[in-house]
Amino acid sequence: MTEPLLAIEGLTKSYPGVVANSDVTFEIGKGEVHALLGENGAGKSTLVKAIYGLIRPDAGHMLWRGQPYAPAAPQQARAAGVAMVFQHFSLFEALDVAENVALGMDNPPPIRTLAARIREVSNAYGLPLDPGRLVGDLSAGERQRVEITRCLLQDPHLLIMDEPTSVLTPQEVEILFRTLRQLRSEGRSILYISHKLEEIRALCENATVLRLGKVVGRCDPREKSARALAEMMVGTKLHQPERAAHKPGQVLLEVKALDLRAPSAFGTSLKEVSLQVQAGEILGIGGVAGNGQDELLGALSGELRTRPGAVSFKGATVGHFGPTARRALGLLCAPEERLGHAAAPDMSLTENALLTGAWREKLVKNGFINARRARAFAESIIKRFDVRTPGPHVAARALSGGNLQKFVIGREIMQRPEVLVVNQPTWGVDASAAAAIRQALMDLAQGGAAVVVISQDLDEILEVADTFAALNGGRLSAKRPVQGLTMEAIGLLLGGAEGDSDAAA
Amino acid sequence: MDFSSINPVVLMAALMVAATPILLAAIGELVVEKAGVLNLGVEGMMITGAVVGFAVAVTTRNPYLGMLAAMGGGAAMSLVFGILTQLLKANQVASGLALTLFGLGFSALVGQGYVGISPPRTAKLNFGFLSDLPVIGPILFRHDPMVYASIAIVAGVWYWLNYTRGGRILRAVGENHDAAHALGYRVLRVRMLAIMFGGACAGMGGAYLSLIRVPQWTEGMTAGAGWIALALVVFASWRPWRALLGAYLFGGIVVLQLNLQAAGFRIPVEYLAMSPYLITILVLVIMSSGRARKSLAAPGSLTKPFHAAG
């Protein structure tokens, strides 16, 4: 048995109120791609921060090549040969690529020498970079290249990657995987954190599964199905959202020949969009990002006004109404961007609940906030949607993505909408939270509401929707029943959208 | 009205002297803002420097010791601001304003015994034949050492920010403090040092007013110079050489105003006194209309407090 590169024994770290890691033990061998699996809040990030020297564990110890290893700062971790690519990139937009790389090194060479080495190393690993460009001008994929190149220049033995693919296009993921396999063939080890199970099955040979800070399983992910992995993560049988087929009802939401100029220079204008959604129906709207999804949501929510007849709710024209008036009627929306659009990051959950629930839940009377009712409303959302947070006084920013998403979707559902429009309801959300959100949307439709799900995740649409329409270049296709619709058929419906978006990317 | 009484050579020479205090204060504040901190207490630190420098110079009969003391005084004031905003996470705008008000009151108290006294003279440098050159000599080569020191500081800050590792770290901290923290840099330490550098520069600028430019101590003598310095940093879009240019521009306005008054130019004094501020506002408006470029120039984490979260 060869000595592992890094052995972690009994690592424990607690924060006030939470035990982030409890007695975590695992090993990473040389040249191994090791997956760290777990739901949001399972303690993955805390664990890698300890390995990278950003936090100190309360108990337990680590061995690096058999020697005690306790980095007090990232500099020490880097000196030992640990490098890390962060989930939210640790880059500086106003600085150029070479400067960004230099900041991640402990003894950077002069900038000119460094620029030459950046070119050399980034090309060698198939990640070409121009060292003179400002990071602010780069795409998400290119930014990640900067991070990876920064790590590679230090000749690391262990590369930690925290959710590396969440912001990448499929093509960029492909390139990344090629690079990671090349690194493995050079004898470097990789600790790969993700909750995208198919990726882990494609890349990793060992997996450690964390749940609520504890190691709950080890496996070879290549031998397990994605479903089995997901169940190890969640700890219960993952239940597939289900419901009875819908019975057509009254048309609740209708859009007729909606033309809308995009409000920003980078948006997509809507062209003659028409749709109808009935009570009990879930309409899935698919399409690649940037084809008018944000504009469509805006037109339906009332953030973008249209001519009165373009949007009607239960037969009444509402196109000229703002969001508050539409909410009062029963047409509710949950936008894609959680922080900053669906929720105000620095306000508490109670205040955020109040922001959209004030009228329908009667949380405001004569201009005064009824604090008790508002808090009770926030608490009821937290309870019903299993939002993991110490309480409604916590700022929205402090919640993990999945928990905040459950909160903002739950906030609308709790207001008993007659029509609910959601954009990307499960983007960046872990498996069990996603299943809970989808189930809630289905239950809502089951109860007689009309639901519009705008999503780029076609699997999601096939799972929840009754009918499907494709949004492409601001035009919406006619809707089809989902039953009997295959991926191929959807690809055709997206009608050349695939080719176009590739050319644009 | 007699414009012939305005001598362009004297005007230019006076301009450099008039610009030096705001230049010193501005270059210090520029470094502070590059680190992601907005210290609105420049005026308070300047006037503290002015009175401390004056008192020490009068007591020791040495203007350079006064300058040093002024730097210490300004830095001490900024340390108060640093502790409030960085360690105790107080709001930067409110703390900065409080610092200005505190500085004005504190300096008036300390300066009571020094009104009407003349400070020791600061000798002008003599560069030999260079100083004797016609036109160029009096404009460029017959000033006190602080004028040259201020230009050297600008050059040093420019070089340090752009070409050294320390400068790069400071810009990184100002641009994205979370990322800098994740890479293992000490955000608060960098910011504290930057704040104290800014305080020392502002103190020096204040002492230049009371010891060389005026030279005398009067209550509230900075008269808004600190605010001009703050505007100057934005005017310069956080670039040191542009700050130099802007300082000389504002200095020129101040001097021209005095000269026009002396020449009996028929315009109420108040209009002239307003002009630097009006131009500052005008420049700010023009600058903010060029949206995208300016938003790139401002440090990304400016005024945001840093909390080291797990």
pLDDT above 90: residue A293: no
* Tens digit of each residue's pLDDT (9 = 90 or more) over A330-360: 999 998 888 888 899 889 999 999 999 888 8
Choosing among 2.170.120.12, 3.40.50.300, 3.40.50.2300, 3.30.390.50, the CATH entry for A6-234 is 3.40.50.300
Nearest chain A residue (CA) to B169: A103
**Paired tokens of A208:** 């450690």
Q: Spell out the alpha helix ranges (H) of A54-110.
A: 74-80, 97-103
Inter-chain Cβ pairs, chain A and chain B, closer than 8 A: 58
Quick one: CA dihedral A98, A100, A104, A110, positive or negative?
Answer: positive
**Is B168 within 8 Å of A75 when comparing Cβ atoms?**
no
Angle between helices B187-208 and B145-163 (to 10 degrees): 160
DSSP per-residue codes, A159-189 = EEEESTTTT--HHHHHHHHHHHHHHHHTT-E
**A500 — pLDDT class (breaks 50, 70, 90):** very low
**Is B299 within 8 Å of A94 when comparing Cβ atoms?**
yes
Is the Cβ–Cβ distance between A332 and A412 less than 8 Å?
yes
Q: Which of residues 70-129 of B touch A (CB under 8 A)?
A: none
**Is A74 within 8 Å of B172 when comparing Cβ atoms?**
no
pLDDT above 70: residue A370: yes
In this prediction, residue A497 carries a pLDDT of 40
What whole-number percentage of chain A has pLDDT above 70? 91
* b/e map A218-242, b = 16+ CB within 10 Å: ebebeebeeeebbbbbbeeebeebe
Q: What is the mean pLDDT of residues A289-302?
A: 86
- Could you tell me which CATH number the domain at A251-504 has? 3.40.50.300
pLDDT above 70: residue B6: yes
Could you tell me the CATH number of the domain that includes residue B259?
1.10.3470
> What distance in Å separates residue A73's CA from the closest CA in chain B?
6
- For A122, list phi and psi in degrees, rounded to 5: -65, -35
Predicted TM-score of the model (pTM): 0.74
* Residue spans per domain, chain A: 6-234, 251-504
Compute the distance between CA of residue A380 and CA of residue A266 in angstroms, rounded to an integer. Answer: 39
**Is B179 within 8 Å of A90 when comparing Cβ atoms?**
yes
Equal CATH topology for A6-234 and A251-504: yes
**Is A90 within 8 Å of B310 when comparing Cβ atoms?**
no
**Is B176 within 8 Å of A55 when comparing Cβ atoms?**
no
Compute the distance between CA of residue A82 and CA of residue A155 in angstroms, rounded to an integer. Answer: 9
Q: What is the mean pLDDT of residues A101-115?
A: 88
* Tens digit of each residue's pLDDT (9 = 90 or more) over A213-229: 888 888 898 888 877 88
Domain assignment present for B309: no
Q: What is the mean pLDDT of residues A220-246?
A: 75
Strand duo A368-369 + A364-365: pairing = antiparallel
B300–A contact, CB cutoff 8 A: yes
Is the Cβ–Cβ distance between A285 and A311 less than 8 Å?
no
Task: Compute CA distances A259 → A306, A307, A309, A472, whole Å.
Answer: 8, 9, 11, 14
In this prediction, residue A266 carries a pLDDT of 63
- What domain range includes position B168? 3-118+128-295
**Is B176 within 8 Å of A75 when comparing Cβ atoms?**
no
Compute the distance between CA of residue B139 and CA of residue B128 in angstroms, rounded to an integer. Answer: 14
Count CA within 13 A, CB hemisphere, residue A417: 29
Q: What is the mean pLDDT of residues A435-459?
A: 88
* Tens digit of each residue's pLDDT (9 = 90 or more) over B207-246: 999 999 989 999 999 988 998 899 888 888 889 999 999 8
Q: What is the mean pLDDT of residues A413-442?
A: 87
Which chain B residues are Cβ-neighbours of A49 within 8 angstroms?
310
**For residue A424, what is the DSSP state?**
S
Domain assignment present for B232: yes
Q: What is the mean pLDDT of residues A260-286?
A: 86
CA B145 to chain CA centroid, nearest Å: 17
Task: Compute CA distances A140 → A144, A221, B140, B235, whole Å.
Answer: 6, 28, 51, 32
* Tens digit of each residue's pLDDT (9 = 90 or more) over B7-53: 888 888 889 999 999 999 999 999 999 999 999 999 999 999 999 99
What total of structural domains would you count in chain B?
Answer: 1
Lowest model confidence (mean pLDDT) among A4-13, A186-195, B258-267: B258-267
Compute the distance between CA of residue B222 and CA of residue B205 in angstroms, rounded to an integer. Answer: 9
Q: What is the mean pLDDT of residues A381-398?
A: 89
Q: What is the mean pLDDT of residues A184-193?
A: 92
The whole-chain average pLDDT of chain B stands at 88
Is the Cβ–Cβ distance between A4 and A61 less than 8 Å?
no
Q: What is the mean pLDDT of residues A294-310?
A: 90
What are the residues of chain A with a beta carbon less than 8 Å away from any beta carbon of chain B? 15, 46, 49, 53-55, 73-75, 78, 86, 88-95, 99, 102-104, 108, 136
Domain assignment present for B136: yes
**Is A92 within 8 Å of B300 when comparing Cβ atoms?**
yes
**Paired tokens of A196:** 């995208």
Largest CA distance in chain A: 74
Q: What is the mean pLDDT of residues B282-302?
A: 66
Helix, strand or coil, per DSSP, at residue B64: helix
In this prediction, residue B287 carries a pLDDT of 66
**B3 — pLDDT class (breaks 50, 70, 90):** low
In this prediction, residue A502 carries a pLDDT of 36
The whole-chain average pLDDT of chain A stands at 85
Q: Look at B191 and A176; give whichever has higher pLDDT.
A: B191
Domain assignment present for B123: no
**Is B296 within 8 Å of A94 when comparing Cβ atoms?**
yes
Matching residue, tokens 């109670």: A350
In this prediction, residue B305 carries a pLDDT of 83
pLDDT above 50: residue B310: no
Q: Look at A137 and A61; give whichever has higher pLDDT.
A: A61
**A191 — pLDDT class (breaks 50, 70, 90):** very high
Q: What is the mean pLDDT of residues A453-475?
A: 85
Compute the distance between CA of residue A501 and CA of residue B4 in angstroms, rounded to an integer. Answer: 70
Q: The complex's ipTM?
A: 0.81
Find the CB nearest B168 among A49, A90, A102.
A102
Q: Which of A32-46, A387-401, B168-182 has the highest mean pLDDT?
A: B168-182
Domain assignment present for B300: no
Which chain A residues are Cβ-neighbours of B168 within 8 angstroms?
95, 99, 102-103
